[in-house]
Amino acid sequence: MLLELKDVSLAYGRIVALHGISLTVDEGEIVALIGANGAGKSTTMRAVSGLRPVLKGSISFDGQDITKMRADLRVIRGVSQSPEGRGIFPGMSVRENLEMGAYTRRNRPEIDKDLERVFGLFPRLKEREKQSGGTMSGGEQQMLAVGRALMSRPKLLLLDEPSMGLAPMLIQQIFDIIVEINQQGTTVLLVEQNAQQALSRAHRAYVLETGRIVKEGTGAELLHDPAVKDAYLGVA
Amino acid sequence: MNFQFVLDNLAALTVTGLTQGSIYALVALGYTLVYGVLRLINFAHSEVFMIGTFTTTIIWAALGFGVGAAAPSTLGVLGLILAAVLAAGAASGATALVVERVAYRPLRKRNAPPLIFLISAIGASVALMEAAGAITNRQPRGMPSLVFPKVQFSIFGADVTNLQLGIIFSALLMWVGLDTFINRSRLGRGVRAVAQNPEVAALMGVNKDRVIMLIFILGGAMAGAASVLYDVKVGLTTYSVGFLIGIKAFTAAVLGGIGNLRGALLGGLLLGVVENYGAGVFGNQWMDVVAFLVLVVVLLFRPNGLLGESLGRARA
Amino acid sequence: MVGLLVGAAACAKDDDGGDTTSASSCDSKIAFFGALTGGNAQLGINIRDGAKLAVDEYNKANANCKVTLVEKDSAGDPAQASGLATSVVQDAKILGTVGPAFSGESKVANPILSKEGVVIITPSATNPALSKQGDKTFHRALGNDASQGPGAALYMKNVMKVQKTYVIDDASEYGKGLADQVKTTLAAGVIGSGVVKEQQTDFGTLVQEINKSGADSIFWGGYLREAAPFLKQFREAGGKAKFVAGDGVKDPKFVEGAGATAAEGAILTCPCVPPEKAGGTFAADYKTATGHEASTYSAEAFDAANILLQGIKAGNTTREKLETFVDGYTGEGVTTKFKFQADGDIDPSAVAVWAYTVKGGQIVALERTPTS
Amino acid sequence: MLEVDNVTIRFGGVVALDGVDFVVREGEILGLIGPNGAGKTTCFNAITGVAKPTKGAIRFNGESVAGRKRYKITRLGIARTFQNIRLFPEMTALENVLVGADARHKTSVVGALLRVYRVPVKRHELAEVTATGGLARLAQQARRTGQRFFGLSRHTLEERAARAKATELLRLVGIDVRAGELARNLSYGEQRRLEIARALATEPGLLCLDEPAAGFNPAEKEELLALIRKIRDTGVTVLLIEHDMRLVMGVTDRIVVMEFGKKIAEGTPAEVRENPKVIAAYLGVPADAA
Amino acid sequence: MNALLESARRADERRAKAAIGIRDRWSSLPRPWRIAVLIAFIALLYSLPGLDIPLITTPDTDFTSVLFLCAVYVLVAVGLNVVIGLAGLLDLGYIGFYAVGAYTVAILGSPNSPVVVKYPWIVCVPIAIAVAMLSGVILGWPTLRLRGDYLAIVTLGFGEIIRVFALNSDITNGNRGINAVPTPSEADWPSWMTWFPTIHEGRPVFSVSSVIGFYWLALTVVIICMLGVRRLERSRVGRSWLAIREDEEAAELMGVPTFKYKLWAFAIGAALGGLSGALFFSKQTFINAQGFDLFTSILWVAAVVIGGAGNQLGVAVGAILLAYLPERFREFTDYRLLIFGVALIVMTIFRPQGLLPSRRRTVELEDRAKEAPVA
């Protein structure tokens, strides 16, 4: 088991956003978290990457308890997140953004190799290497965010809404790349609003509602679950 | 009002202004770095500068060049200045770091609101200044005459001395060094990342605490270097020397666009020149008024300063 | 309820506030009023020690009827001065003050002291306006700035024989007043003038201008904080003109700040008498009593205290009587021959302006400046 | 009632809204849907004056919104809630609503300080404005006979009326028992409701709700549904951004669908549900269709 | 070390909670009781000069003068609290308004000012308040659009400009200053209180040597102003200020004319600052540019925040400490600012909410501390 959350609760101020979430991600999996806006998907991600202190419960990664570990140290352990809203550094060029992804690494040849790998996955980024991150279109920024997260050579890649704001063509593309990354050996935990896409690509998925996990199963099971259809498609 | 005087001496006033402005610019870098990353006016930075001015006198005295000592050879002078830059840079950097540790870090740990940081900063500033005042008995301290201004060349009728050249050149050199470090090195990239988006920077593996330590040390070292230039130029320091220069340097940082290294340089030089013109027109005693009025006017038309905010972001 | 408490308050004050005739002659006090702390403490300490010496000597001679010296530390801050003055007033045993030491605090404290008849003899506040405030108990044991200016100018003209003087002031009342008087006295000898600002540190432009003007001398109306860096920068830039300044610069810190080389030969005037030139055994006594050399204003403070003490000795143990005594006082002190005018200023003939110079890093007295 | 006329908004190089066109009719509930990042919230921002349209016009009851100060737009009669709750956390629930109610008040700063400007109170109003007991009741009795002469200060009158109104609104959204609690201490759901009450206190003609049901469980969503209907029934037109399809389909009269800053469809819920473009955009193309 | 700090902090938090408990009990008292206690407390304040309480009375300097200074500083703090505590605008140059008020009285009333017209004190003071208020509007109009930190530096500049102006302008007599600043005369004293001067040894109430009249005057003004500010606080005005402080954009979208209210806060703060300056220098009778330095201004801000910004009682306590402690412990004069600086740091670490915090801030700070990122 690569990642395990046990009974994790988390609050913003006095508002409890997660009520005891427990989930696991195995090595080599793509696991999706789906649910409505405000259900706690992104909050779960923030708990895993360490951006938010948890109130209760524990998180272990790769056999180690990381509940109280600082976010930057988790990156060194192999957790890398492409945050919600992409979080591109607007004042840095595309290349600098990618270099930021490799901030914790020192081995120059390896980094250069990974740069080539990312440019291979996203040829668009190669074209825009010198452009500043803030001036890129939404789709390009999304590619950059994913590429940047890959630059740290993560064991676990956290993707928060990778399809947000993308045209259907691009959504296809980005999910293809996610699968490709996964096949190259990176475990993926995915938060997605586009339930259809997410469930059809994921090995397993959890459904969140108001800070609780209400359902879990394989992607295919959930994709055909009438309750899920009802919640997401508005059709019973 | 004496516009004729300014027109007649425009070049001379510009050169003296640039000299003064170079020192402002170096001190402004410290404000800008800290503000860029922490959104915090480090009020105690003026005292970091003050510590540098005293360190310089101490190191010179320790090397046998107390007040009134005859200046050594040119090479010796350069050596003394270099030693002072190293010592003052280290002392100021260390002071800045102590301020960060004692006055700011505990508050950051508690996620205190900005106003509280400001009060703590004021406290640190007062404490440092008064401690220096108590130690020096509130008396000014002089230093040896090291550089004797000699006119090197004239430009548009302004005599430029070796002292002025040296100060402007050293300041530019320091600035280029810092700018290169921030924009080209890995650590510098980390600083910019934290400034632009601290959360995402953490997701990239940047240790925010270490970045904060780094910027306090860098800003402090710049103030230390500035304090040596100040000492060479003015030859006298007191415990309260930082207050006015600090306010001017902060004004310069805001003028150029706080959080912006290029802005600090531009703001510092511009402030130095403009207040010299203003002093020429209205009289010396109105110099500070001119400086502040320029700030207000600039902010009214460019609310984010001349070059805009944000560390390392080269946008208009 | 409020009224009742107030009544009590008023009664409490009665004990020491009202009439003073009943006070016996042997528990009189005089007060020192000035800075013992803060940035200007050194002058205040000089004055306090001078006054203390006088009181100690008096008490030794009159062991059966001692006078107490009360110390009121104003830190030189006018805002603190009013409360202190009020507390002086309320202690009916305090008949007179040595001080207030500085002009700023004097402007606040003198009206309060004077209104209740406390005799003021300042050994150091030289602002000419102080004697024009209408404070009837005010006396000044030395010349004011108005007497210093002509003294300095005459010294420049007649002794130093300078031809072309550049006059600089700092726009302060003290500095500008001094500079204006020098300008008036030197008249055509002034070839240029400039203004510096408080805490100015860079005098590049000014230095260039003076050097261009070909001045053979500079008169500085201002304080040492600006004078020291100015002179340093001026000498470093190769300026040769002689430097003359008033008592605002006469301090060892000026020499330290400017550097002994730069300061060498600078002429500093002061309406104060060099302690070592003071009459009698003052300088030696002071050294014995305090362990260090007498310095600026110590001798004046000694004289001021002595005038008050002589009055008390003569049985003038109320404020009114002491005031009458001091007003009519004529006598020789260690600094000069005292006689006060109606406005409290010392008689012009008694004003002693001295010229000092910097020699080998020390400020040494030269001579009394000419009076015409 | 509200016309959004060919509105385009650009931020730097990014086009957030691209020629959006729609109208909100008096008395209806209009749904605004689309995937995240489609420009719905930007649309709200344009309507309430937070974002300035690069091109196009927005008119409310025939009056152009452009160039008006934000608070004046509110006073025209447009109120909103926020996607990320933006209450005044250190103020009590009641105070939050009072801030909204103040939009309709006329007491000046001097008036609030001196409280001398007297407004004659009519007999039937007295009962309403002097809800507090004790001294006020005595004063009320004294005034019964001579209210024309004494009256109440405008401050007092408005303050009491506002309190009455605020309490009523809190009751409407169902959190009146929490009136004295600081907003930050309310639960998530209560905060969402408080935002609605605060917006209603400004007496809007048009209420813009930005994802009011985010984070709600089904039961809470049901209650919200009822609340929105109730609000509409009091005569307030509602513009609603929502993700929960069931909620949208259940409560709205018409729906506008957006994607990439463009309007891609408009119609009744039934029409929209059948629209293939909407299905593709909003529900996502099934992987196997590619 | 850390454990020690932690335990000290916890003990302090308990004390803070106890203080809040007292306040709760206080607000649950019946209204007549509260009024009675308040009146007794105010009577105590009025009679302080005569009580000569040991330990509290200042040994070296006149106690009534110190009380007067305290009252003036409280007035300053009340005004500054409107700007900082209520509206959330950081004003570092508040002393500028203080100076404007003081100089207006001096210039219009002193026989030694360069202006020819002479008005009695009672006329000068309202003019001084109006002029200070106007200066607040003039400063605020262009600058209140600026962001918080920029506002701080611009106000700092304003304070310095006023000082330099006072130092160099002819109308202020430059650094020479103006003496004989008018004081309230016996003629201003209501005739029905003629019994009053007789109890004070025949000295006029407002004479340089009898400070008690000034103290009572200042105290009365303070009480009136505090009540006035309280009225504003508890009206739509105070609510709007609070809303602006919390979330300016949301406030504006809820119909609050934010700029107008910020300007009002500035103007009211300026008026109170001007009034306190006028009061202080009426007693001082001499005014020059000394005493208007930025340093004092910054200390005032510190006192307000340390006392507990937003809570009138808190800021009053902060101001009193700032005025009283240096006078009481004169033996530490040389080190008092050093001690003050260290105290500021310690306070911000242990009591960021201030000595007497407003309840809102206490909760806010607790929650913020909980939300601090993982160490």
Q: Given a cut of 70, is residue E363 above it in pLDDT? A: no
pLDDT band at B313 (very low <50, low <70, confident <90, very high): very low
Task: For chain C, give the percent of residues with pLDDT over 90.
Answer: 31
Model pLDDT for residues B274-300, shown as the tens digit of each residue = 998 988 888 778 888 998 898 888 888
Give the range among B143-147, D94-98, E100-104 with minimum mean pLDDT: B143-147
Model pLDDT for residues C72-84, shown as the tens digit of each residue = 988 888 888 888 9
Q: Under an 8 A CB cutoff, do E256 and D103 touch?
A: yes
Q: Under an 8 A CB cutoff, do E341 and B126 touch?
A: yes
| Chain C closest-CA separation from residue E212 CA (Å) | 10
- Cα(D131)–Cα(D124) distance, rounded to whole angstroms? 13
Whether residue A10 contacts residue A52, with contact meaning beta carbons closer than 8 Å, is answered with yes
- Residues of E within an 8 Å Cβ radius of A: 367, 370-375
Q: Under an 8 A CB cutoff, do D245 and A13 touch?
A: no
Collapsing DSSP to helix, strand or coil, E241 comes out as helix
Contacts of E80 in chain B (CB under 8 A): none
Model pLDDT for residues B116-126, shown as the tens digit of each residue = 888 899 899 99
pLDDT of residue D40: 86
Picking from E155, E345, E370, E371 by the largest number of B CB atoms within 10 A of its own CB, the best residue to mutate is E345
Collapsing DSSP to helix, strand or coil, B185 comes out as coil
Mean pLDDT of C219-239: 88
Q: Under an 8 A CB cutoff, do A165 and D288 touch?
A: no
E2 or A84, which is more confident: A84
Work out the angle between the directed axes of helices E258-284 and E95-109 (0-180°, nearest 10): 50
Q: Under an 8 A CB cutoff, do B310 and A91 touch?
A: yes
- Cα(E301)–Cα(D236) distance, rounded to whole angstroms? 46
Picking from D40, D246, D248, D257 by the largest number of A CB atoms within 10 A of its own CB, the best residue to mutate is D246
Whether residue E120 contacts residue E109, with contact meaning beta carbons closer than 8 Å, is answered with yes
Task: For chain E, give the percent of residues with pLDDT over 90.
Answer: 36
Mean pLDDT of D148-171: 79
Q: Would you kindly state where each structural domain of chain E is located, as residue ranges?
A: 63-292
Q: Given a cut of 90, is residue E362 above it in pLDDT? A: no
Beta bridge pairs of residue A12: A15
Q: Under an 8 A CB cutoff, do B234 and C202 touch?
A: yes
Alpha helices in chain C (DSSP H): 2-17, 41-61, 78-90, 103-115, 145-154, 173-186, 204-213, 224-236, 252-258, 260-263, 282-290, 298-313, 319-327
DSSP string, A63-119: TEE-TT--HHHHHHHTEEEE-TT----TTSBHHHHHHHHTTT---HHHHHHHHHHHH
Which pTM was predicted?
Answer: 0.88
Collapsing DSSP to helix, strand or coil, B148 comes out as coil
Beta bridge pairs of residue D265: D257
pLDDT of residue D120: 65
Q: Under an 8 A CB cutoff, do A230 and D246 touch?
A: yes
Q: What is the DSSP letter of C216?
A: S
Task: For chain A, give the percent of residues with pLDDT over 90.
Answer: 43
Picking from C108, C120, C127, C170 by the largest number of E CB atoms within 10 A of its own CB, the best residue to mutate is C108
Residue D263 belongs to domain spanning = 2-77+204-289
Mean pLDDT of D27-42: 85
CATH of the domain at D279: 3.40.50.300
CATH of C146-270+353-368, one of 3.40.50.2000, 3.40.50.2300, 3.40.50.740, 2.115.10.20: 3.40.50.2300
Whether residue D5 contacts residue D59, with contact meaning beta carbons closer than 8 Å, is answered with yes
What CATH code is assigned to A1-78+156-162+188-236?
3.40.50.300
Contacts of E372 in chain A (CB under 8 A): 53
b/e for B281-299, b at 16 or more Cβ within 10 A? bbbbbbbbbbbbbbbbebb
Residue E258 exposure: Cα atoms within 13 Å on the Cβ side = 23
Between D and E, how many residue pairs show a Cβ–Cβ distance under 8 A?
Answer: 104
pLDDT of residue D274: 83
Model pLDDT for residues A144-182, shown as the tens digit of each residue = 998 999 898 899 999 998 887 777 777 888 888 899 999
- Cα(D282)–Cα(D273) distance, rounded to whole angstroms? 10
The residue of chain A with its CA nearest to that of D37 is A165
| Chain E closest-CA separation from residue B147 CA (Å) | 33
Select from E176, E203, E58, E288 the least CA-distant residue to C117: E203
The residue of chain D with its CA nearest to that of A135 is D13
| Chain A closest-CA separation from residue D105 CA (Å) | 32
Q: Which two tokens stand for residue D166?
A: 């605020």
Q: Given a cut of 90, is residue C97 above it in pLDDT? A: yes
Query: What average pLDDT does chain C have?
Result: 85
Nearest CB neighbour to C87, from listed E60, E207, E333: E60
Amino acid at B124: A
What superfamily in CATH does domain C25-144+275-340 come from? Response regulator (3.40.50.2300)
Highest mean pLDDT pick, B135-139, C52-56, C269-273, E363-367: C52-56
Give the range among B272-276, C207-211, C219-223 with minimum mean pLDDT: C207-211
Give the range among C8-12, C320-324, D94-98 with minimum mean pLDDT: C8-12
ipTM of the shown complex:
0.86
Q: Given a cut of 60, is residue C4 above it in pLDDT? A: no
Q: Which two tokens stand for residue A184?
A: 């190259």
Contacts of E371 in chain A (CB under 8 A): 12-13, 53
Task: For chain D, give the percent of residues with pLDDT over 90.
Answer: 31
Whether residue E129 contacts residue B271, with contact meaning beta carbons closer than 8 Å, is answered with no
Q: Given a cut of 50, is residue C21 above it in pLDDT? A: no
- Within 8 A by CB and 6+ apart from C137, the residues are C113, C114, C117, C118, C119, C120, C319, C323, C344
Give the range among D151-155, D200-204, E269-273 with minimum mean pLDDT: D151-155
| Chain D closest-CA separation from residue E261 CA (Å) | 9
Residue labelled with tokens 């909670």: E17
C96 or C177, which is more confident: C96
Does B315 contact A at CB distance below 8 Å? yes
Mean pLDDT of A105-133: 89
**Domains contained in chain D, number:** 1
Do domains C25-144+275-340 and C146-270+353-368 share one topology? The answer is: yes
Contacts of E373 in chain A (CB under 8 A): 51-53, 71
- Cα(C105)–Cα(C119) distance, rounded to whole angstroms? 16
- Cα(C245)–Cα(C154) distance, rounded to whole angstroms? 13
Long-range contacts of D16-22 (CB under 8 A, 24+ apart): D16/D42, D16/D51, D16/D261, D17/D42, D17/D43, D17/D46, D17/D53, D17/D261, D18/D260, D18/D261, D18/D262, D19/D55, D19/D56, D19/D262, D20/D56, D20/D258, D20/D261, D20/D262, D20/D263, D21/D263, D22/D256, D22/D263, D22/D266
- Cα(D147)–Cα(D119) distance, rounded to whole angstroms? 9
| Chain D closest-CA separation from residue A157 CA (Å) | 22
- Cα(C42)–Cα(C298) distance, rounded to whole angstroms? 11
Does A53 contact E at CB distance below 8 Å? yes
Q: Under an 8 A CB cutoff, do E372 and A53 touch?
A: yes
- Cα(D185)–Cα(D93) distance, rounded to whole angstroms? 9
pLDDT of residue E102: 96
- Within 8 A by CB and 6+ apart from B200, the residues are A83, A87, A89, B193
- Within 8 A by CB and 6+ apart from B251, the residues are B267, B271, B291, B292, B295, E153, E157
Domain B3-135+155-313: CATH architecture, name and number where available: Orthogonal Bundle (1.10)
pLDDT of residue C8: 37
Q: Given a cut of 60, is residue D132 above it in pLDDT? A: no
Whether residue A189 contacts residue A45, with contact meaning beta carbons closer than 8 Å, is answered with yes
Q: Given a cut of 50, is residue D252 above it in pLDDT? A: yes
Model pLDDT for residues E311-321, shown as the tens digit of each residue = 888 899 999 98
Whether residue E255 contacts residue D132, with contact meaning beta carbons closer than 8 Å, is answered with no
Contacts of E347 in chain B (CB under 8 A): 119, 123
Query: What average pLDDT does chain E have?
Result: 84
Q: Would you kindly state where each structural domain of chain C is located, as residue ranges?
A: 25-144+275-340, 146-270+353-368
Residue C92 exposure: Cα atoms within 13 Å on the Cβ side = 16
Q: Which two tokens stand for residue C139?
A: 């006396």
